[in-house]
Amino acid sequence: MKPLLLLFTLLLASASLGAAPPPASPLPFSGATLDGRRFDLAARRGRVVMVVLWRSTCPVCIDKLPELRINARGWKDAPFDLVLVNLDASPADAERYDRARRILAPGEASVFSFWQGQAQMPGPWRSPDRLPHTVIIDRQGAVAAQFEGRIPAEAWNQVADLLP
């Protein structure tokens, strides 16, 4: 009887090892962009999304924003979205930057700009330890990587690896 029970236990354990993990629940990120478009991360499944949290008082953030947009423009035909979330206290600062961005770089359809007050997002994203805070989301909607401070080249390598 004991050998049969042991065999059954081993079979049950090996079956559970091969079981697929449950699908990741989508990150709660949605809202109205500064230019009035509706965005819902759950609807972006199948696309790689880079979310960058920044403030207008952060010199590193301001320095990196043009580079982010240039890289996003280079992948305009790929399933990639760049989401910029301004964490300033006032929406006026976010709107001022976004107006300038749209004048300097019109037609950036895969760049979505938000002010934090118009976006539903995970609570920890509202107060990261260091800025910019970058979150890379894979095509299944799961967080693939996070970076704080300067955005390293490896972040772009990771995005490239996630694209089809």
Structure confidence at residue 20 (pLDDT): 43
Q: Strands 119-120 and 30-32, how do they pair?
A: antiparallel
Which region, left, alpha or beta, applies to residue 46 given φ > 0 means left and ψ of -120 to 50 means alpha? Answer: left
Give Dmax (Cα) for the chain.
78
AA letter at 92:
A
Least confident of 2-6, 95-99, 116-120, 152-156: 2-6
Domain ranges of the chain: 25-162
Structure confidence at residue 25 (pLDDT): 63
Q: What is the DSSP string of 103-157?
A: HHSTT-TTEEEEEGGGEE--GGGGS-SSSSEEEEE-TTS-EEEEEESS--HHHHH
* pLDDT of 106 above 60: yes
* pLDDT of 73 above 80: yes
Q: Can you name the CATH fold of 25-162?
A: Glutaredoxin (3.40.30)
Compute the CA torsion angle 137, 142, 145, 149 (nearest 10 deg).
60
Q: pTM of this prediction?
A: 0.82
